[in-house]
A and B are shown apart, each in its own frame.
Chain A
Amino acid sequence: MSSASQQKRALRPLASREFFYRFVRDLRAAFGNGPPEPEDIAQGAIEKLLAQNSTDHVRDPQGYLWRVAQNLIVSELRSRHAATARESNYSALFSATDGYLLSPERVLASEGQLAVALQTLEAMPETRRRAFELVRVDGLSHREAAQRLGVSRPAVSKQVARAVADLYAALAADEVGTDSDESD
């Protein structure tokens, strides 16, 4: 028995009816009745989980499901809003970058951007940089990172979010500079 198929088997309880309805109930308790409706979200998230070829998520299938569910909800709310905005001729707000400074899909695509990000990390206060690395790079939970760093769990969450905002600001500033330098 390969370990991949063992891992697939470990996911099977997630496909049960009982699990489905429990997840729907939890979603409804957290999110309300939608739209999008909790049944649709739960079904989409479970299908997504079962369709995964990679089994990285086996460590934390519940957390994975919630993240998929959240993103489905976000995506649905966002496309509704985008549709409404288009109808009301606010299309300028919804250009390729949605009015944001960065186009996040290719945020670290170039060596230059990567260098900016690494410099920004180096320049951060020690706790902030370490919190970001433990969570984003090493994949620790915030509680685990907090134990490592000897700070509270909320402090880790806050520092990681600050680190992300710092990186965004630095990369956006770099983007603006580059755009004005190059004609392309």
Chain B
Amino acid sequence: MSQTKREQLEQAMHWQVRMTDHEVSAAERRAFFSWLQAAPEHAAAFEHAEKFWQGLAPLTEHQPQSRPAQPNHQPRVVVNIRGEAPAADAVGPMPRHPAGWRRFAAAAASLAALTLSVLLLLPKPEPGSDPVARTRYQTPVGQLETYVLTDGSRLTLGAGSEISVALGETHRDALLTKGDALFEVASDPDRPFSVRAGATRVRVTGTAFEVRYSRFATRVAVLEGAVDVSAGDPISGDHRVDALQLMAGQGTTYEQGVLTGPAAVDPTKIGAWRSDRLVFNDATLAEVIADANRYDPRTISIQGEALKQLRVTTVFDARDVNVALAGLQELFPIEVEQVSADQLLIRPR
């Protein structure tokens, strides 16, 4: 074992012991995570230290001197997340924006966790319906596509977006896992069409509407007809929590667990992303940049929580993110630093 490796292991043991304490401050957690990310070997060192700590469990039954059990004595919780080592191909090269929970689960989580998350992500089939094959659509960074579905509905998918669609006998549903989508739903009152994005669900029979989804917010706006939008509990998938109806020219936003609206939306701005125009009305900078990242091949990140929460109202051309960033620099106390050829950092000025 090399000197470096030994030093890393000792640091890992220090952090492992600290982070297993019952009382850990927020500052310590930050310090721990920055150590963890400081070198790629640190995660392996920490995992080794954690396993060693767990491996010391037999000592709890072989105490050097027997001591009376204390009233508040509780055995330490055994935390062992890796159910099985992932198959080599399950880990493969990661995309620039990892595609969320399922990929992650394959690499890291236990079977129990996985079962529950599938329930969360896949819409529950309506009673009496058959399971239907899901078709997956995915657009690359900077490119959008329009698809005509077998029921005659049209789906326009924004840049760097992902959706899966199942067209069943009794219902049709789509699951937007990333980005923007505009639906022109072929009318069929016997087969309601529902769209889920994160914790939000939209149900329609025939209408045109858009859903814009990032992990910071979900926005729904209606061009024609009417839709019902509900926000569910991300844990239980229960959709009774909030619900509202949107008419043409109305929109709603789901952010930080709250569904707001209906609010009037400029119909000319609904689906404006189809012509590469990104419209933001009182969005966080984090959401704006998440969208910009779906168009720009570089990775743009934001320094500091305060800046991420900055509220922004802006319109920009997604084909030229540089102009958009220059505009943001004019309006807000921020500066953009070119960290490397493919990395930009937005930070306070």
Whole-angstrom distance between the Cβ of B103 and the nearest chain A Cβ: 9
Mask of A3-27 contacts with B, CB within 8 angstroms, 1/0: 0000000000001111011000010
- B75 touching A108, Cβ below 8 Å: no
Whole-angstrom distance between the Cβ of A37 and the nearest chain B Cβ: 6
In the complex, which of the residues A86, A118, A139 contacts B62, with contact meaning CB atoms closer than 8 Å? A118
B340 at the interface (CB under 8 A from A): no
- With contacts A15-B236, A141-B23 taken as known, whether A51 is within 8 angstroms of B113 at the C-beta atoms is yes
Whole-angstrom distance between the Cβ of A72 and the nearest chain B Cβ: 6
- B33 touching A31, Cβ below 8 Å: yes
B140 at the interface (CB under 8 A from A): no
- A81 touching B43, Cβ below 8 Å: yes
A56 at the interface (CB under 8 A from B): yes
Closest to B54 in A: A104
- A44 touching B105, Cβ below 8 Å: yes
Mask of A26-66 contacts with B, CB within 8 angstroms, 1/0: 10111111111101100110111011000011011001101
- A142 touching B21, Cβ below 8 Å: yes
Residues on the B chain within 8 Å of A158, using CB: 14
Whole-angstrom distance between the Cβ of A25 and the nearest chain B Cβ: 8
- A17 touching B73, Cβ below 8 Å: no
In the complex, which of the residues B5, B62, B70, B116 contacts A138, with contact meaning CB atoms closer than 8 Å? B70
- B305 touching A29, Cβ below 8 Å: yes
- B51 touching A74, Cβ below 8 Å: no
- B43 touching A77, Cβ below 8 Å: yes
Bound complex: CA of A172 vs CA of B1, how far in Å?
Answer: 10
- A160 touching B17, Cβ below 8 Å: yes
Bound complex: CA of A164 vs CA of B52, how far in Å?
Answer: 8
Residues on the A chain within 8 Å of B70, using CB: 138
Residues on the A chain within 8 Å of B75, using CB: 56, 139
A151 at the interface (CB under 8 A from B): no
Closest to A18 in B: B257
A150 at the interface (CB under 8 A from B): no
In the complex, which of the residues A40, A71, A82, A165 contacts B50, with contact meaning CB atoms closer than 8 Å? A71
- B55 touching A105, Cβ below 8 Å: yes
Whole-angstrom distance between the Cβ of B208 and the nearest chain A Cβ: 29
B48 at the interface (CB under 8 A from A): yes
In the complex, which of the residues A47, A57, A80, A106 contacts B113, with contact meaning CB atoms closer than 8 Å? A47
- With contacts A79-B86, A122-B64 taken as known, whether A72 is within 8 angstroms of B22 at the C-beta atoms is no
Bound complex: CA of A108 vs CA of B245, how far in Å?
Answer: 62
In the complex, which of the residues A17, A98, A122, A137 contacts B60, with contact meaning CB atoms closer than 8 Å? A137
In the complex, which of the residues A15, A26, A70 contacts B19, with contact meaning CB atoms closer than 8 Å? A70
B76 at the interface (CB under 8 A from A): yes
B100 at the interface (CB under 8 A from A): yes
- A73 touching B94, Cβ below 8 Å: no
Residues on the B chain within 8 Å of A46, using CB: 235
- B23 touching A142, Cβ below 8 Å: yes
Residues on the B chain within 8 Å of A165, using CB: 9-10, 13
Bound complex: CA of A72 vs CA of B113, how far in Å?
Answer: 12
- A78 touching B64, Cβ below 8 Å: no
- A139 touching B73, Cβ below 8 Å: yes
- B67 touching A138, Cβ below 8 Å: yes
Bound complex: CA of A107 vs CA of B70, how far in Å?
Answer: 27
- A67 touching B19, Cβ below 8 Å: yes
Residues on the A chain within 8 Å of B215, using CB: 37, 39
Closest to B69 in A: A138
Closest to B86 in A: A79
B112 at the interface (CB under 8 A from A): yes
In the complex, which of the residues B33, B55, B235 contacts A30, with contact meaning CB atoms closer than 8 Å? B33
Closest 8 CB pairs of A and B: A107-B55, A77-B43, A104-B51, A141-B22, A30-B29, A78-B43, A83-B91, A104-B52
Further contacts, 17 of them, CB under 8 A, given A39-B215, A77-B37: A15-B235, A17-B199, A30-B30, A37-B98, A40-B100, A59-B74, A73-B43, A74-B50, A99-B5, A100-B48, A107-B55, A107-B56, A117-B59, A139-B74, A142-B21, A157-B14, A161-B14
21 contacts between A and B (CB under 8 A): A16-B233, A30-B26, A32-B33, A44-B101, A44-B108, A44-B117, A48-B110, A56-B74, A63-B22, A71-B47, A76-B107, A79-B107, A80-B91, A82-B44, A99-B1, A102-B52, A104-B48, A136-B60, A139-B75, A139-B76, A164-B16
What residues make up the interface of A, taking CB atoms closer than 8 Å to B? 15-18, 20-21, 26, 28-37, 39-40, 43-44, 46-48, 50-51, 56-57, 59-60, 63-64, 66-68, 70-84, 86-87, 98-102, 104-108, 114, 117-118, 121-122, 129, 133, 135-139, 141-143, 157-158, 160-161, 164-165, 167-168, 172
